[in-house]
Amino acid sequence: MTDARRRAGGGLSEAEAIELAKQGDAEAFEALYDLHKRRVYSLCLRMTANTAEAEDLTQEAFLQLFRKIGTFRGESAFSTWLHRMAVNVVLMRLRKKGLPVVPLEETVETEEDTPKKELGGPDPALAGSLDRLQLERAIEALPPGYRSIFVLHDVEGFEHNEIADMVGCSIGNSKSQLHKARMKLRELLKTSRAAKATRP
Amino acid sequence: MTCAEMEHVLPEIMEGVRTADQEAHLQNCRECSGILADLDEIRQRARSLHASEEPSSRVWESISTTLGEWRSETDVIAEQARELQASEEPSPRVWDSIQATLNEWRSEMNEISAEAGVLADSEPSPRVWNSLEIELRKAGLIRRPEPPVASGRSSGWRWAWLAPVAAALLVVGVTLSQRGHAPQGPASVATLPMASLEDQKMLDAVALRAPSMRAVYENNLRRVNAYIRDAEQSVKNDPTDPEAQESLVNAYEQKSMVYEMALDRSLP
């Protein structure tokens, strides 16, 4: 058992907290919240790009955890199980709001969606100069469908087959949309940098 | 390889798969290699966003409040369930039904027990026993039998003797009266109860055929009549007592056997 999996001060391991939480132990549930709140909240925030909504979704994800923890059988890591549940909560909310969880077009690229290469112009590399804040803002500016795929793969580390299963698309589409999302991000970052450079 | 062709294979190259042609193009094309470097930078930096944000304390407060409300609701429901459980009483029909079922079971158990008793009972038929009893009494080896202690089990085959008993009594009576036998014998026969007029006729019939057996049958009849009287008194005292009823039936069975044996020996 790693220290990270021990509750600060309480000495309760994650496995112990899970078993106690299954029996309705409020303190054990709070310990699980403390262990996983950052990842769940970050996921919600990146996916929605909205603080209030992210907090609301975080609450909803943990309440659903409270309701369903009795069904956790340990067939996968608890964190994997929980974060998959959190992703589903977010995707459900996006669908309810009518926002695409995956880009609507499968193969046809529109003029607006296709990032263009700036041939011939100055093209300073992002490498070495990209900071976290810039990236966060660029991700927030991504269309919702691109943002979901990018966050799930590049931020949260899900595999394409898992993403395809969760959002309901093919693995090939997941790969294709991820590439487009990265290209769109690059474009946004460069645009942002150019605007900053021209600012007096 | 052109830049347009390279753009199509960038996703695979990002995953580390590249051919010699692609590698050569990247070496010579600053634009394509720049794009690849930028995409790789974005991917690398994206990982730093993982679990990077802390929710405000409002989130847990809200979760905690909701859990508290759920717990209260659950407690209320549990309390109501307990009250319902304690307040509901089944209708009398339920107990009646249980009792009826128990009675059926009891009856079936008695039948099974009786059948098992018959199977396990190794005693010979009543006829055999009566023959033996009579002979043993004749030899003075046994005394008057005590009234049998009812076993408490029903014995359906014993009831079947009621008809032969009645028939035997009737046949003896009719036969003797038709033959016009007059009562003869020792004075002891006169001490038999009035209800035993038929007994007297039977003894007369025995005396005609086998005079030496008359006294034996007379004694047997006296005893069995006493046995019948005792059993009748018991039934009179408690008509619902199954043991008394069974004793009475047994007494009549004994008497029927005496008649049967007497007729076998005395009638042509």
**What tens digit of pLDDT does each residue of A75-129 get?**
889 999 999 999 999 999 999 888 776 665 544 444 445 555 544 444 566 766 7
In this prediction, residue A57 carries a pLDDT of 96
Name A6's bridge partners.
A13
Q: Which residues of A touch B4 (CB under 8 A)?
A: none
Give me the residue from B31, B51, B53 closest to A117, CB to CB. Answer: B31
Higher pLDDT, A63 or B96: A63
> Distance, in angstroms, between B84 CA and closest chain A CA?
24
CB neighbourhood size of A133 (10 A):
8
Topology of A3-96 in CATH? Rna Polymerase Sigma Factor; Chain: A (1.10.1740)
The alpha carbon of A71 is separated from its chain's Cα centroid by a whole number of angstroms, namely: 24
Higher pLDDT, A180 or B196: A180
In this prediction, residue A19 carries a pLDDT of 94
Verify that B156 and B251 share a domain, yes or no. Answer: yes
Q: Are B161 and B252 in contact (CB under 8 A)?
A: yes
> Distance, in angstroms, between B47 CA and closest chain A CA?
5
State whether residue A41 sits within 8 Å of chain B by CB.
yes
pLDDT of B171 over the 90 cut: no
Query: In chain B, how many domains are there?
Result: 2
pLDDT single digits (tens) B13-23: 988 888 999 99
pLDDT of B124 over the 50 cut: no
For residue B109 the two structure tokens come to: 């158990």
Cα angle B16-B20-B22, degrees, rounded to a multiple of 5: 65
pLDDT of A1 over the 80 cut: no
Cα–Cα distance measured from residue A168 to residue A78, given in angstroms and rounded to the nearest whole number: 23
Tokens 């992002």 label which residue?
A126
* Residue B65 included in any domain: no
A–B CB contacts, 8 A cutoff, strictly below: 113
Q: Was domain A132-198 assigned CATH 3.40.1390.10?
A: no
In this prediction, residue A139 carries a pLDDT of 94
Higher pLDDT, A59 or B229: A59
Report helix, strand and coil shares of chain A as percent, to nearest 5. 65, 0, 30
Place B43 in a pLDDT band, splitting at 50, 70 and 90: very high
pLDDT of A39 over the 70 cut: yes
Which residue range forms the structural domain that includes residue B33?
Answer: 3-43
In this prediction, residue B137 carries a pLDDT of 64
Q: Which residues of A touch B39 (CB under 8 A)?
A: 182-183, 186
For residue A88 the two structure tokens come to: 């589903």
Give me the residue from B14, B53, B66 closest to A41, CB to CB. Answer: B53
Distant-in-sequence contacts of A63-67, Cβ < 8 A, 24+ apart = A63/B63, A63/B66, A63/B67, A64/A89, A65/A32, A66/A21, A66/A29, A66/B67, A66/B70
In this prediction, residue B179 carries a pLDDT of 52
In this prediction, residue A119 carries a pLDDT of 46
Candidates A62, A68, A79, A178, partner chain B, best to mutate (most B CBs within 10 A): A62
- The beta strands (E) that lie in A83-194 are given as none
In this prediction, residue B138 carries a pLDDT of 63
Supply the mean pLDDT for chain A: 84
* Residue B150 included in any domain: yes
In this prediction, residue B246 carries a pLDDT of 82
pLDDT of B96 over the 90 cut: no
pLDDT of B154 over the 80 cut: no
Candidates A155, A156, A188, partner chain B, best to mutate (most B CBs within 10 A): A155
For residue B96 the two structure tokens come to: 């009646």
Average pLDDT, stretch B170-182?
Answer: 50
> Distance, in angstroms, between B23 CA and closest chain A CA?
19
For residue B67 the two structure tokens come to: 């859990």
pLDDT of A64 over the 50 cut: yes
> Distance, in angstroms, between A36 CA and closest chain B CA?
9
State whether residue A122 sits within 8 Å of chain B by CB.
no
* Residue B98 included in any domain: no
pLDDT of B42 over the 90 cut: yes
- Model pTM score: 0.55
pLDDT of B245 over the 60 cut: yes
Contact B63 A33 (CB under 8 A): yes
For residue A178 the two structure tokens come to: 């991820």
Give me the residue from A33, A136, A182 closest to B43, CB to CB. Answer: A182
Contacts of A95 (CB under 8 A, 6+ apart): A101
Question: Domains of chain A: which residue ranges?
Answer: 3-96, 132-198
Place A10 in a pLDDT band, splitting at 50, 70 and 90: low
In this prediction, residue A163 carries a pLDDT of 93
Name A30's bridge partners.
none
Query: DSSP states of B199-211 as a string?
Result: HHHHHHHHHHH-H
Contacts of B246 (CB under 8 A, 6+ apart): B150, B151, B154, B155, B158
Higher pLDDT, A72 or A107: A72
State whether residue A137 sits within 8 Å of chain B by CB.
no
Give me the residue from B14, B63, B71 closest to A59, CB to CB. Answer: B63
Cα–Cα distance measured from residue B114 to residue B108, given in angstroms and rounded to the nearest whole number: 10
